[in-house]
Structure 1
Amino acid sequence: MAQTPQQRKANEKYAKSEAAKRGKGNTTTKQKQNLKSPVSTGWVFVLAFAVCGGLAFEAVRIVPEFWAAAVTMFNRIFA
């Protein structure tokens, strides 16, 4: 059975009073760390272009060759 907000509040109050009896300090919650990438966004684009840009230029170079070969085969079959 889930706790109601009223029960949760009462449990927190009781836990604080018990911790004070034992001499423990306040409990602290861990703050969420904001992780920053070691590589900036600009460098990610530069690296992506270096890796994928070569593939794009090669495709631009090869596609006309394949198109010419396909047209030649088409002409041989239907000529």
Structure 2
Amino acid sequence: MVTVLDRCNSGADGCEHHAARMLASLDRGRVYPLPDAPPGAAIRVFQAADGIRPFCWLDGPRTRPSQLSHAENRARNGR
């Protein structure tokens, strides 16, 4: 449904669910809809990634800013 690009423009295509997981784990990643994607697919991926912790499949306490979602970091910083 979408293509996720990293900051070096390397990319991967994927469904909305897996693309959101990937985007959440990238620094300065971007998402673009594929030509046959349903309307709003890239926006849904971007919004979902905001609340997903990066590398969420790793165990252990996750308290550093780099281990939290963008939404959690904004809440911690009062934004």
TM-score, scaled relative to structure 2: 0.22
Higher relative contact order, structure no. (Cα contacts within 8 Å, ≥ 6 residues apart):
2
TM-score, scaled relative to structure 1: 0.22
Choose 1 or 2 for highest CA Rg: 1
Q: Of Structure 1 and Structure 2, which has the larger fraction of its residues in strand?
A: 2
Q: Of Structure 1 and Structure 2, which has the larger fraction of its residues in helix?
A: 1
